[in-house]
Amino acid sequence: MSENTAETEIFGAWGAVLPDLSRAQLAVVGSDGQFAVIHRIADDQWQTLAFAYDEESARRIAELIRAMTPMPDHLRIGGTGIQTGQDTDHPGVEWVVATAVVEDADPIVRITGPGTHRLWVVPSTDGEVLGLLNPDGDPHELAEFTSVDGADAFIAMIDALFALQGSRGFAEGPAERS
């Protein structure tokens, strides 16, 4: 997002340490009718990873990240990046968590609980469109990534946030900045 005088709304912001030990931040923001998922490593400038389709989609992305990443159990489907499994029935990377914490010895019951939240980073069949989906929700299609590197940075950040299990690294939104 470019710097301007328009007010920027932060729907959610998170920080984590990535596997390479670099500090990273992720935020879902809106300004002047544009909505984006942005990312920053160390003191470098923010980069846009994805553009949300509208404000509702941006808010849903933030809500899902906020609800999903602190859960004690989750299911991760896929490999290391968005190009993983491109020729399969389940390409990309998806995370699944229960909508509520369930105490049960069976991990499937703990993950599916009374319902699930799902977030799926997926390539299109032609590899040109890299999307962020909310498979069980409305809106279903949330955002389009700017590049493979952008999608992979998002995947790395979400994995790092799940590793925190809600213990630290969160700067809760929504908040506003001018």
pLDDT digits (tens, 9 = 90+) for 78-118: 998 998 887 888 889 999 999 998 888 998 888 888 899 99
Give the C-alpha separation, 109 to 29, whole Å: 34
> Residues 168-177: what's their mean pLDDT?
43
pLDDT at 9: 95
pLDDT at 173: 46
The larger pLDDT score, comparing residue 177 to residue 30, is at: 30
Q: At what angle do helices 148-164 and 55-68 cross, to 10 degrees?
A: 40
In the chain, what percentage of residues exceed pLDDT 70?
A: 88
pLDDT band at 160 (very low <50, low <70, confident <90, very high): very high
Q: What SS3 class is residue 124?
A: coil
Residue 168, pLDDT above cutoff 90: no
Phi, psi of 50 (to 5 degrees): -155, 155
Q: What's the pLDDT tens digit per position in 59-86?
A: 999 999 999 999 988 999 999 899 888 7
- Which residues have CB under 8 Å from 149's CB, separation 6+? none
Give the C-alpha separation, 64 to 78, whole Å: 19
Q: What's the pLDDT tens digit per position in 11-63?
A: 999 999 888 888 899 999 999 999 999 999 877 789 999 999 999 999 999 99
pTM for this structure? 0.86
Q: What is the DSSP string of 8-24?
A: EEEEEEEEEE-TTS-EE
Give the C-alpha separation, 113 to 99, whole Å: 7
Please count the CA atoms within 13 angstroms of the CA of 55 that sit on its side-chain side: 8
